[in-house]
């Protein structure tokens, strides 16, 4: 997965408070050099037309300030017309908007009045004149539609991301500056307006492909099997399975027989990898359940994840770490390229891992585990009541009391629940990366098992990567030694590394294969309700 990237709720209030203390926005300076003599098109309209337009079309009222800023700075010169009529850029934008509506199936930005006036002006030859109310109305409709289109395509739907468990600051778009930049340029693709997330573009291209597949989809359900089907088996149900795989993976053609042959083994393994299932080439009920997911549901999954891609902030650093929670994977990027992947264990559905970003600053070898009070209440105290030696047996100690609640920490060592090393990116959620003594859990295909923190499959490898610039000091042997101390040892990184904990259930991997994962926390379902309820 290439760069699937890039305010906390508790800081949002502080930011809002700071905004109130800031000085008022400075007035937009009118460019007085734009006059009827210097104008490239010699076409202007009266400033009062903006307010009249917004009264007539209140659906654009949210962009009032952008209208005022944009036209004030250009002295109310027309932007979408030249001396021959609609300018080339107006046609280019119209085609971009039409392609978006048709390819994505999103009619939210369609505007009937805009369509009618565009069609009428496009069908005739005329010479625009300053002050012409029809031209002014068409001009402002084009600008309003641009603001609406750009807001949606580049910024996403007007959804409070925090309501959906997303606390990574959303990408912000300056609509006025964007429009000012593109006017006069021959823009024919959305990428020329604002660079789009690479994953967004890949998912967008697959939406019409899956819409076409949906037209060929059958309504029959593949029944569950009593035992997994394997190579050499023969059954009528295999015909159904082959037909479904041919629709989903046409690049691996399968015949119409009921025989489980080598081609079906290959197609099965490919499908299992794409769905995050255990890859063994045998067809069991977990795979059949994924084959039975309606394509309408898959299309919605693509659109939901495209929406999240729009929210990702631009990358400001070429070194960063991404953990995709539903994938159970960490992706480490170095100098803009994927350095390595790593299996991880994430929070369970009850103790879900929070979606946010931070900066990794510290490596802590041989850590203590300061047991959270919630775990002390739910797990430690009941265990202590059953076994008076529970604390000593588990290498723990009580360092004090908060009322009647003991303050418990676990000593460094092989029994420590954090393993032999942890990695801190300070945050308000008390989430971090750490080792674990339960190595066998990484072999499971579903790994939402923790209390919320991220357990790493290869913690030593990660420590070596973080400390690579000091490899003379932090050799492999030195790291091994630091991981087996009697007391914890803190090491500060020379330069903090950005960390993104994200939630994507659909993406295209580095081999160009579309992947889907289960909505383990129900975030897709909540977003789909907001996006598709209308």
Measured distance CA(394)–CA(407) in Å, rounded: 15
Q: Which residues fall within 8 angstroms of residue 36, CB to CB, at 6 or more apart?
A: 42, 44, 130
For residue 193, pLDDT over 70 is answered with no
Q: Which of 58, 141, 61, 27 is nearest to 93 (CA)?
A: 141
For residue 16, pLDDT over 50 is answered with no
For residue 347, pLDDT over 50 is answered with yes
* Residue bearing tokens 């925090």: 162
Encoding tokens for residue 331?
């992706």
Strand, coil or helix: 398: strand
Phi (first) and psi of residue 517, to 5 degrees? -135, 165
Between 194 and 473, the more confident residue is 473
**Is residue 211 a contact partner of residue 105, using CB atoms and an 8 Å limit?**
yes
Active site residue 111: no
- pLDDT of 9 reads 32
- Rounded to whole angstroms, what are the CA distances from 159 to 156, 301, 505, 521, 526? 8, 17, 19, 18, 11
Which range (44-48, 131-135, 483-487) has the least confidence? Answer: 131-135
What tens digit of pLDDT does each residue of 435-449 get?
999 999 998 989 999
Residue 2: pLDDT band by 50, 70, 90 thresholds? very low
Residue 25: pLDDT band by 50, 70, 90 thresholds? low
Q: Is 531 exposed, middle or buried (0-12, 13-18, 19+ CB in 10 A)?
A: middle
Which whole number is the average pLDDT over 359-365?
98
Q: How many CB atoms lie within 10 A of CB 12?
A: 13
Pick the catalytic residue: 111, 331, 451, 453?
Answer: 453
DSSP result, 47-81: THHHHHHHHH-GGGGGGHHHHHHHHHHTTTB-SSE
Which whole number is the average pLDDT over 339-352?
96
Active site residue 453: yes
Encoding tokens for residue 504?
């994507």
Handedness of CA 410, 416, 418, 421 (dihedral sign): positive
- pLDDT of 409 reads 95
Between 2 and 79, the more confident residue is 79
Q: Which of 191, 209, 192 is nearest to 200 (CA)?
A: 191
Q: Which residues fall within 8 angstroms of residue 90, CB to CB, at 6 or more apart?
A: 80, 81, 118, 142
Measured distance CA(60)–CA(144) in Å, rounded: 6
**Cα 63 to chain centroid, rounded:** 26
Which whole number is the average pLDDT over 198-215?
92
Which whole number is the average pLDDT over 428-432?
94
Which whole number is the average pLDDT over 136-159?
87
- pLDDT of 6 reads 37
Residue 145: pLDDT band by 50, 70, 90 thresholds? very high
Strand, coil or helix: 212: helix
Residue 104: pLDDT band by 50, 70, 90 thresholds? confident
DSSP letter at 293?
Answer: S
Q: Which of 431, 426, 428, 414 is nearest to 367 (CA)?
A: 414
The DSSP bridge pattern shows strands 369-370 and 396-402 to be unpaired
Strand, coil or helix: 402: strand
Domains of the chain, earliest start first: 9-205 (no CATH), 218-293 (1.10.101.10), 317-532 (2.40.440.10)
Measured distance CA(438)–CA(203) in Å, rounded: 36
**Is residue 87 a contact partner of residue 78, using CB atoms and an 8 Å limit?**
no
Q: Is 239 exposed, middle or buried (0-12, 13-18, 19+ CB in 10 A)?
A: middle
- Rounded to whole angstroms, what are the CA distances from 359 to 5, 426, 495, 497? 15, 7, 9, 5
What tens digit of pLDDT does each residue of 300-339 get?
999 999 989 988 877 666 899 999 999 999 999 999 899 9
- pTM of this prediction? 0.80
Residue 64 sits at the vertex; the CA angle it makes with 62 and 70, to the nearest 5 degrees, is 130
Q: What are the beta bridge partners of residue 355?
A: 166
Quote the percentage of the chain above a pLDDT of 70: 89
Measured distance CA(16)–CA(409) in Å, rounded: 38
- pLDDT of 350 reads 92
Instruction: Name the average pLDDT for the chain.
Output: 88
- pLDDT of 180 reads 80
For residue 110, pLDDT over 70 is answered with yes
Pick the catalytic residue: 111, 331, 434, 523?
Answer: 434
- pLDDT of 195 reads 60
- pLDDT of 356 reads 96
- pLDDT of 187 reads 63
Strand, coil or helix: 118: helix
How many Cα atoms occupy the beta-carbon half-sphere of 505 within 13 Å?
20
- pLDDT of 186 reads 62
What tens digit of pLDDT does each residue of 251-308 get?
999 999 999 999 999 999 999 999 999 999 999 999 999 999 999 999 999 999 998 9
Q: How many CB atoms lie within 10 A of CB 230?
A: 14
Quote the percentage of the chain above a pLDDT of 90: 67
For residue 181, pLDDT over 90 is answered with no
- pLDDT of 336 reads 87
- pLDDT of 130 reads 76
For residue 3, pLDDT over 70 is answered with no
Measured distance CA(44)–CA(48) in Å, rounded: 12
For residue 37, pLDDT over 60 is answered with no
For residue 495, pLDDT over 80 is answered with yes
Which whole number is the average pLDDT over 357-381?
95
Measured distance CA(451)–CA(351) in Å, rounded: 5
Largest Cα separation within the chain, whole Å, is 93
For residue 7, pLDDT over 50 is answered with no
N- to C-terminal Cα separation, the chain? 32
- pLDDT of 17 reads 34
**Is residue 300 a contact partner of residue 229, using CB atoms and an 8 Å limit?**
no
């Amino acid at each position: 997965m290439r760069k699937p990237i890039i305010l906390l709720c508790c800081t949002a209030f502080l930011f809002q408070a700071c905004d109130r203390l800031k000085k008022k926005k400075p007035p937009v300076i009118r460019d007085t050099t734009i006059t009827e003599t210097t104008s490239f098109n010699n076409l202007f309209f009266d400033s009062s037309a903006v307010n009249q337009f917004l009264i007539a079309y209140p659906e654009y009222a949210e962009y009032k300030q952008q209208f005022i800023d944009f036209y004030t700075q250009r002295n109310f010169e027309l932007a979408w017309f030249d001396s021959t009529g609609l300018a080339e850029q107006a046609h280019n934008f119209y085609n971009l908007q039409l392609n978006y509506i048709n390819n994505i199936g999103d009619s939210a930005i369609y505007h009937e009045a805009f369509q009618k006036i565009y069609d009428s002006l496009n069908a005739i030859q005329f010479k625009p004149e300053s002050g012409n109310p029809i031209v002014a109305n068409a001009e402002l409709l084009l600008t309003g539609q641009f603001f609406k289109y750009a807001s949606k395509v580049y910024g996403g739907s007007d959804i409070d991301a925090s309501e959906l468990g997303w606390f990574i600051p959303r990408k912000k778009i300056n609509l006025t500056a964007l429009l000012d930049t593109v006017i006069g340029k021959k823009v024919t693709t959305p990428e020329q307006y604002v660079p789009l997330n690479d994953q967004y573009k890949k998912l967008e291209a697959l939406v019409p492909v899956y819409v076409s597949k949906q037209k060929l989809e059958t309504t029959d359900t593949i029944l569950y099997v009593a035992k997994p089907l394997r190579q050499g088996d023969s059954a009528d149900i295999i015909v159904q399975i082959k037909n479904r795989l041919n629709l989903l993976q046409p690049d691996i053609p399968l015949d119409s027989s009921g025989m489980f042959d080598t081609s079906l083994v290959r197609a099965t393994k490919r499908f299992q990898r794409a769905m995050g299932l255990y890859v063994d080439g045998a067809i069991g009920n977990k795979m059949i359940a994924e084959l039975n997911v309606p394509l309408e549901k898959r299309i919605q999954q693509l659109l939901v994840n495209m929406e999240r891609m729009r929210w990702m902030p631009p990358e400001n650093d070429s070194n960063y770490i991404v953990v995709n929670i539903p994938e159970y994977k960490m992706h480490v990027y170095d100098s803009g390229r994927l350095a390595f992947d790593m299996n991880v264990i994430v929070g369970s559905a009850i103790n879900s891992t929070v979606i946010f970003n931070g900066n990794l600053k510290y490596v802590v070898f041989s850590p203590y585990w300061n047991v959270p009070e919630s775990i002390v209440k739910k797990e430690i105290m009941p265990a202590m009541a059953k076994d008076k030696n529970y604390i000593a047996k588990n290498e723990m100690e009580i360092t004090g009391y908060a009322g009647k609640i003991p303050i418990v920490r676990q000593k460094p060592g092989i029994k420590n629940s954090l393993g032999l090393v942890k990695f801190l990116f300070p945050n308000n959620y008390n989430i971090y990366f750490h080792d674990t003594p339960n190595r066998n859990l990484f072999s499971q295909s579903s790994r939402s098992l923790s209390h919320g923190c991220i357990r790493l499959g290869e913690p030593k490898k990660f420590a070596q990567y973080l400390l690579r610039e000091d490899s003379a000091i932090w050799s492999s042997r030195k790291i091994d030694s630091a991981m087996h101390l009697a007391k914890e040892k803190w090491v500060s990184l020379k330069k903090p590394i950005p960390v993104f904990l994200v939630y994507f259930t659909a993406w295209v991997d580095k081999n160009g294969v579309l992947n889907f994962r289960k909505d383990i926390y129900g975030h897709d379902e909540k977003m789909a309700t907001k996006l598709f309820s209308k």
